[in-house]
Amino acid sequence: MKFQLWFWGAFLLFFALPFPCILYFNTDYPVAFSDRSGPWLALLLLGASVSLWLGVLYAYLHYLLLAPPRALFRVRSILTDGEPREVRIEEAEQTGVHVRGFAQWKLKVALQNLSGTAITEQLVVVDSQPQRQRFVVGNMLPARLSRDPGVFPNMVLDGAQPEINTASLWRRGVAGAIGVALVFGAYVLAYRAQHEGIGWTFLSFSHPLLVCPLVLCGYVAVVRVLARMLHADARGEALKFRGIGVQATVLDVRQTGTYINEQPQVEFSVEYTDREGVVQHAKLRRIVALIDLAQLPRDNVKLLYDPDDRANVRMEDA
């Protein structure tokens, strides 16, 4: 799995960074005087380029550098002020990874969320006390839930000792600093090689200084859209941990025409009665494996709905 992630990451980065440069230097370089941008357009393109690179830098800081410290702080706050719960281990298996000699486990646990609805959650934990044999299917473990669910994590086992992988964080920091230096160097080299005494007029819509950050920002946007569709973002996590369970009637099922990994997206139109007795209508979308299309629920489904936004729903197993 890790190899696949590295492969696809390298594949996408090739089309975001080297490929636009190869394309540009084989088609548009050098820039003829008649093809140069006007002064105002050049300044506009320069501003757009810098803004896009700043957006890439923000995404890098937000998701790769600042996320681990934020998660650590969140875990500690949940352990201190979280809502106590008992969770039951449904599935447990070792991942094959060891941290300081202790086995890492992947757990599937069943619990009641903040509204008392039964849900399941996946956890990856390190067993620092193997002699206690805590991670056995059927065991009950004390846990804490965030009282303000949202950004992962929202549940922590009691007694957890959260840590940050400082070596990984340092590597990310160094990589980020190198990336910033390379981008700054690219601006300097491009200006020295192409300005010809008339400034940034060599910039165009096909220049790598504009195309590369645009593609990278596009990747970030696509990932965020996919996370939203799969309820893997903060909004989906919040709904899972505070949503109210209800039985809903399926009014209509249709394919949207969107495919993710060659798997179709399906839209459900549903009707349910909330806890106040009011009939609500909502729509939800999910990605379905092709082999499961014939088994889609057509009559009733179990939903979680947001008590603050009754149109915000998700299937309990989504």
In sequence order, what are the beta bridge partners of 277? none
**Residues constituting the chain:** 318
- pTM (two decimals): 0.80
Q: Tell me the residue type at 147.
A: R
Q: ∠ CA 25-31-32 to the nearest 5 degrees?
A: 145
Confidence of residue 1 (pLDDT cuts 50, 70, 90): low
Write the CA distances from 42 to 26, 195, 279, integer angstroms.
Answer: 21, 11, 56
pLDDT digits (tens, 9 = 90+) for 246-266: 999 999 999 888 887 788 888
Q: How many CA atoms lie within 13 A of 173 on its CB side?
A: 9
Find all residues with CB under 8 Å of 168, minimum gap 6, and list them. Answer: 68
Residue 160 scores a pLDDT above 90:
no
Structure tokens belonging to residue 264: 């179709």
33: nearest Cα among 196, 167, 153, 208 = 196
Predicted pLDDT of residue 172: 94
Long-range pairs for 123-132 at CB < 8 Å and ≥24 separation?
123/155, 123/157, 124/95, 125/157, 125/160, 126/99, 126/102, 127/102, 127/103, 128/102, 128/161, 130/102, 130/103
For residue 257, the surrounding DSSP H or E stretch is: strand 244-260
pLDDT at 307 over 80: yes
- How confident is the model at residue 317, as a pLDDT? 62
**Per-residue CA distances from 171 to 18, 54, 64, 65, 138 (Å):** 22, 20, 11, 10, 40
pLDDT tier for residue 176 given thresholds of 50, 70 and 90: very high
How many whole angstroms separate alpha carbon 270 and alpha carbon 246?
11
pLDDT at 4 over 80: no
The Cα–Cα gap between 241 and 283 comes to 20
Q: What is the dihedral of CA 297, 298, 300, 301, to 10 degrees?
A: 40
| Residue 134 confidence (pLDDT) above 80 | yes
In the predicted model, what is the mean pLDDT of the chain?
90
Please name the residues in contact with 250: beta carbons below 8 A apart, sequence gap of 6 or more. Answer: 268, 269, 270, 297, 298, 299, 300, 301
The predicted-structure confidence for 209-244, as pLDDT tens digits, reads as follows: 999 999 999 999 998 888 877 777 888 899 999 999
Asked if 287 and 268 count as a contact pair (C-beta separation under 8 A), the reply is no
d(CA 117, CA 284): 19
